[in-house]
Structure 1
Amino acid sequence: MDKCLFFGRLTKDPEVFTTQSGNKLVRITIAMDRTVKGEKRTQFIPCIAFGKDAELIEQHYSKGREILVEARAENARGKTKDGVEYPTFRFVIERFYFAGSKKEQQKEQTATTSQVEPEIPEDELEKELKEFFEEDETFEPPAENGVITSEKDLPF
């Protein structure tokens, strides 16, 4: 099963794009705190959403707002400022839920996404993604017998 759950706050306002076929795409980054050996660390999770999900996120979210996201992970390629490519992941939002205080939730009303099939067919969605990301289909993490052997080679 390819499901990821993330809970955190948006690091900035959603970035909104319109694809060539007229579909909306929203890119967000979620900041999540965790503690490692008594030290607080923040993880930054890049996510994208399409269609109705993108419209709702654009309308109801801004920097600092809490969000709970259910997403699927996909291999992708990133590029440094120097133009060097590296393997990474992207997370495609399948569902999201408003989080935070009840007062905030009442303001927003419950505008969670419906649990119906996506309005964009999967093959069409894949074409849309290729416009924004290059996938690295050859990426394999440095592992032996399912155990990571070198964390320095991981893209996160």
Structure 2
Amino acid sequence: MLQIIIICYIIISYVILIEWRVICMEMQMDMSYVFAVMITGLVVVFLGLVLLILFITAIGKIFEAASHKKKSKETVAVRSEPVKAAVQETVADDEPDEQPDNDDEVIAVIAAAVAMMSEADGKTYRISSVRPARKVQSGNAWAMAGIRENTNPF
């Protein structure tokens, strides 16, 4: 990365020097003054960029350390007893899967998973209500693309 910055610095310096040389010949300015102004300007710009990089990196480390402390305070000691689950062998059917109407069984499985989580955490959770998921609207393709683009993470 440093080599790329140095190469860019040299190229930019050379281009600016050529332009300033033409201007200096027309205005009869001293070349050493032009060179000093050019170098000073480039040094200030690149130092500013380096300071911005260091500042953003430091802010990132500060927030990372703060979130790490917050996570370590929130972690609760989990019992080391493993939850024993019955293992059953299943035979795969060649028939296509159908969507049977077994909502009660699905709710029971979800309730069992919640109970296992509450047992592991040492807290008590309870399912207060069960509602069907909201149906996805099939609308304008452009509107859906806009929603997808605006809700994507960075």
TM-score, length-scaled by structure 2: 0.18
Is the radius of gyration larger for structure 1 or structure 2? Answer: 2
TM-score in terms of structure 1 length = 0.18
More strand as a share of residues: 1
Higher relative contact order (CA 8 A, sep 6+): 1
